[in-house]
Every structure is written in structure tokens, then in C-alpha cells.
Structure 1
Amino acid sequence: MKAIYTSLLTLLTLAGWAQTHISGKVTDTKGISIPGANVYLKGTYDGASSDVDGQFSFTSDEKGKQTLVVQAIGYKSSEENVDLEGSNLVVKSTLQETINLLKAVTITAGAMEAGDEKKSVVLKPIDILTTSGAMGDITGAFQTLPGTATVGNDGRLFVRGGDASETSIYMDGLQVGNAFGTSASNVPTRTRFSPNLFKGSFFSTGGYSAEFGQALSSTLALNSLDMPLRNQGDISVLSVGGGYTHTLVGKQNALTASANYVNLAPYQRIVKQNFDWEKAPENWDTEIALKQKWGKAGFVKAYFHTEGNNMVIWQKVPGQEGRGRRVGINNQYSYGNVSFRQAGKHDWFFSGGLAYSYNRDKINLDDLPVRQLNQVVHGKMVVIKDFSPQFSLKNGLEYFGKTYSEALPDEGKQRNMADHQFNHFVETSYYFNNNLVAVAGLRTGYSMLAKQIWVTPRFSVAYKMNEGQVSLAAGKFKQLPEEKLRILDNNLKNAGSDHYILNYFFANNNRTFRAESFYKIYDNLITYTGATSAPQNIGQLGSGYARGFDFFYRDRQTVKKTDFWVTYSFVDSRRRFANYETRVQPSFAPKHNGSLVVKHFIGKLKSQLGSSWSWNSGYTYTNPNEPGEMQSKTSMYSNLSLSWSYLPKPNVILHVACSNVLGRENVFGYQYASTPNESGAFVSQPVGQGAKRFAVVALFITLSKDKAANQLNNL
């Protein structure tokens, strides 16, 4: 019996000696302990969890070569080969952080998202349409964002001291030529497209991606809707016109077709105008949008838009009697694009498309007919490869074909210009961890007409700290002069700008705060002598800068059922350009700009009340009665607008809006006679608004199977 007990004791002792004691510590790449990590031998139940100091310890009866697995939430799993020989084994495991794109830092320097897919959401499409004073115009709503300036006698986007021509607009990644309607001098224009087409937009106030080019100041990239929700018909009845949209939705495709008509003549006969209209603006447009799912991971979109515009206006000439100059405009415009996106195997992604813009203007200046034709073709192919959760590479090729012609039919004169541009861009994103990302890009281009090659590097980095983050961006940007100048001198080269941006962004609990400082340096700007309408001695001797800062705060939490945002921008811009002989503050770059937008929903009244107030410190202008250039400034600009949306039924909406409700006489500058009068003074006249106020009443009715769908996105 004693021998049996001795044998059992010996076996148990040997078994204890055969076990391996495994211990160690789990840390991240910075040496910080990771508690709660799961450590185990692959294919066994032997393991333990790390304590608050990252320490772990367990024993195993396994022998020989094994695989030790270490896992922790938020980190990449680690596997290490170990050799178990019945002794102590000390292991030190280092885990790398997993990149979670939903939580990872994003670049916000110079960028403002207006879609649902990014964290840095500033405006959604419905925000654009419900902003009082914008009157459903995309640029009208974006003029309430920081970095923009309201230029009431133009209507286009002016960003951080830059001219409107320095902003480029894209739809589904493809450039939109002539995105704004043709208008007479000092008569504001609008974008040609309804915000209802888009699911979101990316508005860059500078330092934008290498994917985009030929814009010295900013880009506005609009992304159209994918699949509509249901079959429905939408009727719009407005005080200035009306329209109808019909949508058909299948399992794999959808079709939307619409037609609209606007005529301001009845309205302008009722509301006194400061403009002398012979024929008030009249516009019609039609469009078709097709959506098609392609396989399991592809999507194709096709869009076509065509429209016609007519107007005749008399514009008084300073120092002359009578109605002045008669300007008649007949515009025909078409735009179409086809775009696709396709997710491939092994983290490959493909996108691209083809777009075409056609813009024809028949202009009559008194008895002189002028004809202008502008066409733009844009082709693009982009390939993205995610080599790992940390590293992504974007590669793309582009082609632009641009033609422009102008003619004097009565005199038998015509001149033409054509250019072919080729571009390549490459951009890489690298996530060091969830808190630090860097993006580097390089864009190259070649113009056959200018015979010029250019290279523009760009870089940005963002670091996340708690709820906020800091971003830096820098880069070079090039843009060829407008076709109206290139047709006079085919040898004109690119103008250039260098961007430097520092940004702080915070978003939490339905509150968003954004602060940004910037500095832009301009070179090779167009200069000439003589009048803008007939430039002479065209060169590229201009230069300048724009510097400043802006703030944006949006709050949907503090006041119940209320959404509001506040912006302020300071811009110090000086440039020598056009026919100025010195560096001046441009008329389109007021130093101080601000806005306040408020929207409040009253449930009992089934109503949303909206208001917006925009202001700036005034516009510079040259007074020839005083020495110097751009030495004078208008009074402060101010515009308070109100709106009311009422839902008497789920599918019926009544919308009323009025701009400049206080009737303020805003002046955007002064025009002067070309020669002095008998007293030696140059006579002037103010450049102001078409009317003190503009009001619109609209009724939206939706026809659908459930009778509950409506056009809230149209408000």
C-alpha cells in the first residue's frame, strides 16, 4: 500500500512539474498598459485576462510549440509562437490600435461636410432649403457659412477674398460648366440646380483634395441622391411659377423626371422694382435622373438637365438722360453626366464618369447682337486601394475639353478658343491611430493651349483630442484664366495660390463648433489696362494675399425644438488684379461678415418658423472724384429674412418666405460717369437691390400610395 501511495505522489509531482506557468504584460505601442485583454493558447481553454496594470498569468499542461493569442477591444489581435517545456514563460505583448473609421479622426481644415455620411456635418440638404433668405438657392444657404461673403448684386459664391470664378462646382465628382444662370450686369443670378437633387455636399473653403483642381479658392462637390424611397408625384405651385416631378422606383433602378416654369413678370407688376425691366426674367427647365444598381456592389447614375432663360432690361448710364442701355439676354443651357462606382475584391474601389456642359448666350446690347458659346467636356477615372485599415491610396486620371467662341453676326466677326487639359492625381491617407491621420497628395496637369505643365503638392494632418480635434492643411493650387480672356491671348498661363490653414473642430450632443485661421498667397493674377469690357495689354503681373479667421457654432440641443447657427468671418484681402495699378481690397471681399440662422418648430401649430440675419461691414469701390483706388466703402450690409412652413395635412405644405423684411436700402457700390461734368465732377449712381423685399408663397402637394409622404425636403 505504501508503494502505491508513493507512486501516485510521484506521478502528481511529475504532472505538476510538466505544467508551464505563462505570465507577462500587455501594452500598446506607447508602452501604456491594456487592461481586460484576453490572452490564451490557440485551440485550448488555457488563458487569462490582463488586470488593471496589463499583467496576466496562467498555467497550461500543453507541451511543445503553441500559439499564444492576445486580443483586446480596439486593438489588432496578436499571435506569437511559443515553446512550452514545463517551466516559466514570460511574455511581453504589444498591440497596435485598430483603425475604426466611424470613430477615427477626419480632416476638417478648410472642409465643411453637408451630408449624412460624415461626422463633420454642417448643413444637410433640408437645411439648405429651409434657410430663410436663401429662397431655395444652394449658394444662398452656403452664404450663411463661415468664409463666404454675400455679394448681393452677383449671387455666386465668393470665398475668403477670392473672386466667384475661383470656386469650382462638381456633381458626383464631375465638373459642372456654367453652373450659374446668365444674367445682366449687377443683376444677381442663381445656381441652375435644385438642392432637392442631392443627398449632401462637400464645401471646401480652401486646402481641398488633390482630386480637384482649377480653382484658386474653393470647391463645392454635390452628391446626388441614390435610390428614392417610393413612387410619388410632387406638385409645386409658387407665386412666381410652378412645376411637377414624378418618381418611379423599382427593385434595382429608379427614374425621376421633372419640369418647372418661372415667370417674374406678374410678381414684378405688383411689387415695385428698382430695375427697369422691359421683359422680366422667364425660365423653364426639364430634367431626368436615372439610377441603376449594378451587380452586388455597383451603382450607375445618369442625369440630364436643359433649360432656357429670357430677359430684357434697361440699365441707366451715369451722367446720361433717358433709360440708358438696353440689354437683352436669351440663354440656352444643357448639362448631362453619367457616373459610376464599383466596389471590387480585395479592397479595391473604382469610380468615374463623363460630363458635358453646353451654354449658349444671345446677347443684344442696344442694337448690337453678340453671340457666345461655351462647352465643357470632363472625363474622370478614380481607383482607390485600401492596403490596410491604416493605409489607403487614391489614383486618378482626368481630361477636360473646353471650347469657347464669340461672334458679332452683323459684322461677320468671330473668334474661337479650344483647349485640351490632362490631369493626374494621387493621394494617400495614413492613420497612425484613431487619433492621428495624415493625407498627402500630388496633382499634375498639362494644357495644350497654354503649353504649360504644372505640379501642385498638398498635405493635411489632423489630431483628435477628447471630443475636439485640430487640423492643419497646406498646398498649392493652379487655375487658368477665364475663357473670355484666354480667347484674347492664347498664351496666358496659370494663376497660382498657396493655402495655409489651421482648424479646430468640436462636435458633441448636437452642438458643433468650428474655428479656423487661414493665409492665402496669390501670384500671376491677370492684369490689363482699359475697361473690363474691352481689356488691353493683358498680362499676369498681379499678386496679393488673403488672410483672416472665421467661426461657426451650431446648436440643436440648448433650446427645445430649435436649431440655430452663428457665423463670423474676418478677411483681410489685398490684391493687384484686373485694371488696378496697386494692391487693393476687392469689392467682393468685405472685411467683416456674419450671419445668424434660427429655425423653431411649433408642434401645436404644425409649423416651422425660420429667420436669418446676414450682414457685412460694407463694399469697397473707387470714387474717381478722390485720389487713389478703392478708397471708399459703402454702408454696412444687413438683411433680415423670415419664413413660415405649415402642414395642414401630411402630404400638403404651405410655405411663405420674405427676404429683407425691414426694407433696408442696401448698396453694393457706385457706378460713375466715364467723363466729368461741367463742374469737373464724375456723376454717380448707386448699385442696389432690385426691390426692397422679395417674397414667395408656395404650395407643395405630394401624391403617393400611403398619402403620408411630403416635400419637406423642398422647404
Structure 2
Amino acid sequence: MNKCLKQLILLMTILLSGGAQLYSQAHNVINGLVTDTNNEPLIGANVYIYKTIEGAVTDVNGNFRFETTRTDSVTLVVSYLGFKEYKFQANILNLKDLVIVLQPKETVIGEVIIVASNFNFGQDANKLKSMNSLDVVMTGSSNGDIYAALQSLPGTQKVGENGRLYVRGGESDETQTFVNGMHVLVPYTTNAENTVQRSRFSPFLFKGINLTLGGYSAEYGQALSSVLPMQTTDVSSSDKLGVSFSPFNVNVGGTVSNKRSSWSFNGDYMNMYLYNKIFPDKYNWINPYQKLSGETQYKIEFNPNNILKIYAGYDYTFFKQKVNDSFDPTINKRNLDLNESNIYLNSTYKSYLPKGYVLFLGVASSLVYNKVNDALTPNDLFKNDRNEIHLKSTMSKSFTNNYKLSLGAESYLRNSKKKYNNPLSNSKDLKYNLDYNIYSAFLDNSFKIHKKIYFNFSGRMEYQTNNEKVNFMPRASLSYIPNSHLQLSTIYGIYSQSTKDDILVYNKKGLSQELSDHYILSLSYNKSGLVFRFEPYFKKYRKLPLAIDGNYYSKGYGHSKGIDLFLENETLINNLRTTLSYSFNDSKRLTLDYPEKSTPQYATQHNFNISLRYFIPPIKTYVGVSNLFASGRPYHNPNKTGYMNSKTTPYNSLDVNMTFLVKPNIILYSSLTNILGRNNVFNYKYSTDLDVNNTYSRVPVISSRERFFFIGVFISLNNTKAYEVSNF
């Protein structure tokens, strides 16, 4: 393994030196000064070339300077919170010694963005933290995965054996994903046991990614802890074609544009055979992990006030591996064979009607078909089919500069089928067919009660057909925004989510929706290249499923409380971005088969992440280093008294990555996770029988790989920039 590590470091060094040789184009300098109408310098204004990552942030004197390889006419954009965006087109040679004066923008209620518990990844300068799709690709050890990139933020917890998103002491299922406002039933790919699952979506599909850690609006339901709304790109004005490839996948994507419409496509094939040969993992593969996926979008503007978006995605995953009993490899030998198909369809229509009304209509369908042979014992068969139809309509209007009303209704139509057959067992097949619907309506009122004080009061009602119960959930927030840099907010809300199908089927009539009450305080500051956030929170769980006398009832409860800290600085050293995030969480529940109120196995009390990203202009190279630390996770040791009575050793991973902007149309990205090769233990699995020493034997639950090396190339084939958001 040490030999492999040395080879990887050598390869990354060669790539870095190669980037210097490949970058030989002439540089043009863009520089100037940004001020307000009183001739006061604006510190931390964002200056960039439209649809690229080439740009800079103004310093303490309002000055900016950056280099570009562009030689033709470009569009320069200057944005700053509280001011009108400044955009103009000019020849690159005329963009020197500029003096740009930004005009103040009167804030109306529809433009107010409350950043409490929100992290926004997009190109909206009014958001607390701006990030485009390439930033998602280059974040730490994300390897281009949306969920992995988000795990560098405070409030998230590291669960390394599956890679899913866990937020503020909640399970991964408590965080729900939405595309253009429509729900995604299964946003993760499937994978082998103790192997990271990735997002089904490419980050290049989206212009905005918004992780909301809690306290979200009444528009979103069926999420106890968090929501992840993502907005796809708009109609493209030009044709694009690009490819990307790595040692285990190849991707082709592009866009065909018309005057008012565009059609985009993206196809990907992943095969881990070659990678497993070079860097073997801990599994015995018969057929390596493979995934074939494709997605397409059609977007049309019938006129500037009427926009239709249609999205369709499909992926097929399959693999086969030899497995056996964890404690006695001579028994239960089998060839686990998994096949899964996932289909997601999404269509939305948005219309700007007369008198300021805005209409939104959406429909989405999720279909997942999962089949596993030799799942638990030789010759058994496991099948799980799930589908959901999500219907939604909203209407909104700003009646004055001080009041905005939004209202809507939506339906979730769900079906789940599961069957398990074991020919070696005398018992009948285990199976169920579960149907239920959830109907909801919501109302949202936003008020500007003072030029610096904003209040929101909303409510949501949900009715679930299987238990015929109704939930009313009020939500409110009060924000004080004295200037464009500072926000103070307090948030309260009740949130609900249907119990998991595998539990709900035991007591369809008796189990209510699970509930959580959110209490959040937030302080956010953003100025001069410095972003700071401090958020204490408390979540109270109610009506969780609890096993009592062989059945489940909505009598479980719990809490999750903690503090999130976030600090990002881009002014200490030129071209260096430093990010620190820390989360403290105290979470306990009495749910499922817990004999007492305990900390869930996935929860970690302390999570600390530090990341550095440095840009080297002469060779157009980003170098990143990040370190993630998480305190030990609780687990149950049957050899000791009590429940959840032990803790694993702390988790730690030091990761490095490099991104070379070789040419405007070529990006080379490489990363190496857990460079020190630490053997992180996530849990322990215990035998069901006592051994000769009258104790229960155990094996650690660890990742299938100690390290993961990734290298990828992104290429635009028609002379556009590989790092434009809309390329793929």
C-alpha cells in the first residue's frame, strides 16, 4: 500500500508540473476599482467574466486584479450585496484601470433572502455563500459528487460507510432532495455494503444548489431535518458538446439550442474493473460494479413570461460479488447479485401572469426497481419496487413592497412492493404491497415590518390516507438585517414525515406521521471576503415509531441540539481560500427497538473540517487540502451492560486535490482521500452466538477502501469553456 501511495503522489506531482508546461497562452490583465455612489470603496465585491470562474474579489481598498487567457470581447460582471448588478461587454484590451460605480438597490420584500440555516451554491451574489458547479467538483474529496461536497459544511455529520447526507443529528432519510421544486424519491445510487453512495445527478445540470439545514418554508414537506432544493439551468443560447473521463467512467454531454429553446443530454458509463485491478478493495468481485445512466432536459421559453422545463433521467446499476458469513467464512457462501433500475421524470411550468401573479405547476415521477439474488442466503431472492408521483401547484404575488403572499397545494402518491423468498426456509414468502397518498396545502406570508426587520409566518396542512390523520404545522421567522453584511434571525417550525415503508406496513392505521419542532437562532456576517456564521439549534422529535409488544406505535420521542460554526476567509493571503466548519451535536432518541433513550449509531458529537484552496495563476492550478475530524460514534456491545454503551475511535481523513485549467476548454482534476491511510472504524458487527470464551465475537465495520484516488478530465469539444455551468 505504501508503494501505491508513493506512486500516486508521484503521479499528482507529474500532473502539476505538466500543467505548467501545458499552460503557455498569453495573459491579459483586468484591473480596476469598485466604489459606491459616495466614492467609498466596496470591499469584497465579486468581479468576474460572465459564465466562467475567472475573476477576483475586491480588496480593502476596493481594488481588483486578475489575469485571463481570453483575447476577444468579454462580458464583465460586478456584483455586491445591496447594490444593482453591473454588467457590460468590452474588448479585453479595454478592461484596464476601470472605475466602476455601483448603484444602491432598494430592497423589496420579494428580493429579501434570509440566509439562516441556508448554504447556497449558485451565482446569486445576494446569497451568503456563492459557488458554481465547478466549485462542487473541486470541493475537498467530493470527486464531483454533490452530497460529498455538502459534507464539508457545518451541521452535516460524517457517516463514511455509505456517504449519505446526515444533518443535525437526523437520519439520512430526514433530508429530502427536490429538483425544480419537485421531490426525488431516491437521489442516491445503490452500491455494495460499506461503500460510498453517490448522487444520481451531475452538478453541471444545476445553476443553484441550496442546502437548508432546518427552518425551511412551508412549501417543503415530508422532511424532518433538512431539504436540498436544486434548480436546473435555463435555456441555453449556444450549442455545446463536452466529454469527461476517468479510470472508471466516461461521460458525454451537450446542448442543442434554438432561439427560445434548448435540449441538453448527458450519458455516463461507469465500470470499476480497471480501477479494482490497479487499486484492489476488500471485496471478491465476480462482476465489478457497473452503472449505465443518461439524462436529458428540454427547456422552452414560449415568451419571457412562460417557461417550460422537462427532465428525464435513468440509471441501471449491477454487480456480483462473492460473500460469506462474517465470522465463519466456510458457511453461507453465496454470490450476491444486485440489479437496480431508477427512473426520474420531472416537468415544471412557470408563468408570470398579469398584475404580478406568478403561477407554478409541476409533476414528477420516481420509479425504482431493485432485485438481489443470494441476498442473505444461497438461492434466495429479494425484490423491492417503489414508485411515487408528486403533483404541485403554487401561486405567489407581491402586493406591495412590504408584503408577499404564496400559497399552494401538492400530492404525494406512493406505492411500495417488497418480496423475499428463501427456498431453504419452510416459512412463506415475506412480502407486502403498500399504497398510500399524502395531500397537503400551504400558505406563506412575508412581511417587511420595518426597513431592517422582516417577518415570515406560514403554515402547512397534511393529510395521509392510510391513517386518515391531519397535521397542522405553523412556521415563523423574524430577521433583523441592519445592512448588507449582517443578519440576525430566529426561526420556529413544525415539520413532518411519513414513517418508512418497512415500518409503516406493520401498523398502517395506527402509525401517525413523525414530527419535529425546530428552534433556531442565527447570526450571519459577510463582508470583505469574510463569511461567518453562528447557529445554535434545538430539535424536538415526536411520534417516532416505537416497538411495543411486537408492533409499532407512534410513541417514540427524542431531541437533537447543538451549535454550528462556519468561517471562510479569502483575504489573509492572495488567492487562498480558508474554510473552517465545526458542529457540536447532542442527539438522543427512543425509537424502533431501542430499550432506552440513546444516541443513534450514526450520530457524532463533534465534527470539524478545515480546508485550504490555493490558486496558482501562472499555471492556472487550484491546489486543495482538507482534513475532516469526527468524534467516535456510539455502538452497542452485547458483552457489556447497558445499551449503546461504547464508542468507536475518532474518524480522521486528510485529503488533497488538484485542478488544472489546462486550456479554456480543458480541465484536469485529481484527488486522493485519506492520504495517511487511517483505518477508520464506523461500527462493530457482533456474532449472534457465544464463542468458546463465553463472549460475542465482533468484526469492525470499515470502508471497502482505505484510500480513493481519482483523476478526471473535462473537455469541451466546440471551443466553449469546459467550466461553464451549462456545458454538461
The reply to whether TM is greater than 0.5 is: yes
Matched, 1:351 2:368: no
Gaps of 5+ in 2: 1-81, 83-103
Select the residue among 622, 635, 652 that pairs with 2:636. Answer: 622
Pick closer, same or farther for the CA change 1:101–1:387 going to 2, 3 Å: closer
Measure, in 2, the Cα distance between the counterparts of 1:489 and 1:264.
Answer: 42
Pick closer, same or farther for the CA change 1:399–1:123 going to 2, 3 Å: same
Measure, in 2, the Cα distance between the counterparts of 1:540 and 1:471.
Answer: 32
Question: Residue 414 of structure 1: CA displacement?
Answer: 4.0
Select the residue among 463, 471, 477 that pairs with 1:460. Answer: 477
Amino-acid identity (%)? 28
Q: Which residue of 2 aligns with 1:114?
A: 121
Q: Which residue of 2 aligns with 1:472?
A: 490
Question: Residue 654 of structure 1: CA displacement?
Answer: 1.8
Question: Residue 324 of structure 1: CA displacement?
Answer: 5.3
Measure, in 1, the Cα distance between the counterparts of 2:587 and 2:700.
Answer: 24
Deviations 1:538-559 (A, max 9, x none): 2222111011101111122332
Measure, in 2, the Cα distance between the counterparts of 1:137 and 1:107.
Answer: 26
Contact persistence 1:170–1:222 (CA under 8 A): yes
Gaps of 5+ in 1: 1-73, 75-96, 531-535
Aligned residues: 613
Paired residue secondary structure (2:222): coil
Measure, in 1, the Cα distance between the counterparts of 2:713 and 2:192.
Answer: 30
Q: Which residue of 2 aligns with 1:450?
A: 467
Q: Which residue of 2 aligns with 1:291?
A: 299
Q: Which residue of 2 aligns with 1:215?
A: 223
1:401 aligned partner, one-letter code: L
Pick closer, same or farther for the CA change 1:628–1:148 going to 2, 3 Å: same
Measure, in 1, the Cα distance between the counterparts of 2:228 and 2:540.
Answer: 21
**Bigger mean CA deviation after superposition, 409-418 or 226-235:** 409-418
Pick closer, same or farther for the CA change 1:593–1:412 going to 2, 3 Å: closer
Q: Which residue of 1 aligns with 2:380?
A: 368
Deviations 1:208-239 (A, max 9, x none): 10000111111010111112352121011211
Paired residue secondary structure (1:134): coil
Measure, in 1, the Cα distance between the counterparts of 2:323 and 2:453.
Answer: 56
Measure, in 1, the Cα distance between the counterparts of 2:167 and 2:110.
Answer: 30
Measure, in 1, the Cα distance between the counterparts of 2:135 and 2:655.
Answer: 15
Select the residue among 512, 532, 537 that pairs with 1:513. Answer: 532
Deviations 1:447-501 (A, max 9, x none): 1112111100000010023431210000111111111222233122111111100
Select the residue among 523, 528, 538 that pairs with 1:504. Answer: 523
Deviations 1:381-427 (A, max 9, x none): 00001110100000001011000001246666642011111100000
Q: Which residue of 2 aligns with 1:562?
A: 576
- Equivalent residues in 2 for 1:52-63, closer than 5 Å: none
Contact persistence 1:133–1:641 (CA under 8 A): yes
Question: Residue 344 of structure 1: CA displacement?
Answer: 1.4
TM score, norm. by length of structure 1: 0.83
Q: Which residue of 2 aligns with 1:377?
A: 389
Select the residue among 259, 266, 279 that pairs with 1:271. Answer: 279
Matched, 1:436 2:436: no
Measure, in 2, the Cα distance between the counterparts of 1:440 and 1:560.
Answer: 43
Question: Residue 105 of structure 1: CA displacement?
Answer: 5.5
Rg: which structure is higher?
1
Deviations 1:93-121 (A, max 9, x none): xxxx9961499753233222222233322
Select the residue among 440, 452, 457 that pairs with 1:423. Answer: 440
Paired residue secondary structure (2:672): strand
Select the residue among 401, 415, 428 that pairs with 1:403. Answer: 415
Q: Which residue of 1 aligns with 2:501?
A: 483
Measure, in 2, the Cα distance between the counterparts of 1:125 and 1:382.
Answer: 28
Select the residue among 551, 555, 578 that pairs with 1:537. Answer: 551
1:631 aligned partner, one-letter code: N
Select the residue among 682, 692, 697 that pairs with 2:696. Answer: 682
Matched, 1:522 2:532: no
Contact persistence 1:99–1:434 (CA under 8 A): no
Measure, in 1, the Cα distance between the counterparts of 2:321 and 2:685.
Answer: 17
- Equivalent residues in 2 for 1:640-651, closer than 5 Å: 640-651=654-665
TM score, norm. by length of structure 2: 0.81
1:474 aligned partner, one-letter code: Y
- Equivalent residues in 2 for 1:125-274, closer than 5 Å: 125-274=133-282
Contact persistence 1:622–1:632 (CA under 8 A): yes
Measure, in 2, the Cα distance between the counterparts of 1:439 and 1:112.
Answer: 19
Pick closer, same or farther for the CA change 1:121–1:647 going to 2, 3 Å: closer
Select the residue among 313, 334, 342 that pairs with 2:343. Answer: 334
Measure, in 1, the Cα distance between the counterparts of 2:437 and 2:112.
Answer: 38
Paired residue secondary structure (2:141): coil
Q: Which residue of 2 aligns with 1:611?
A: 625
Measure, in 2, the Cα distance between the counterparts of 1:322 and 1:134.
Answer: 38
Matched, 1:495 2:507: no
Pick closer, same or farther for the CA change 1:124–1:523 going to 2, 3 Å: same
Question: Residue 601 of structure 1: CA displacement?
Answer: 1.3
Contact persistence 1:292–1:301 (CA under 8 A): yes
**Bigger mean CA deviation after superposition, 168-177 or 242-251:** 242-251
- Equivalent residues in 2 for 1:46-85, closer than 5 Å: none
1:331 aligned partner, one-letter code: E
Matched, 1:598 2:612: yes
Pick closer, same or farther for the CA change 1:384–1:712 going to 2, 3 Å: closer
Measure, in 1, the Cα distance between the counterparts of 2:235 and 2:570.
Answer: 28
Question: Residue 653 of structure 1: CA displacement?
Answer: 2.0
Contact persistence 2:109–2:401 (CA under 8 A): no
Measure, in 1, the Cα distance between the counterparts of 2:142 and 2:331.
Answer: 31
Paired residue secondary structure (1:128): helix
Measure, in 2, the Cα distance between the counterparts of 1:449 and 1:223.
Answer: 32
Measure, in 2, the Cα distance between the counterparts of 1:98 and 1:647.
Answer: 35
Paired residue secondary structure (2:573): coil
Matched, 1:586 2:600: yes
Measure, in 1, the Cα distance between the counterparts of 2:622 and 2:542.
Answer: 48
Q: Which residue of 1 aligns with 2:24?
A: none
Select the residue among 571, 582, 604 that pairs with 2:585. Answer: 571
Pick closer, same or farther for the CA change 1:323–1:440 going to 2, 3 Å: farther
**Bigger mean CA deviation after superposition, 354-363 or 230-239:** 230-239
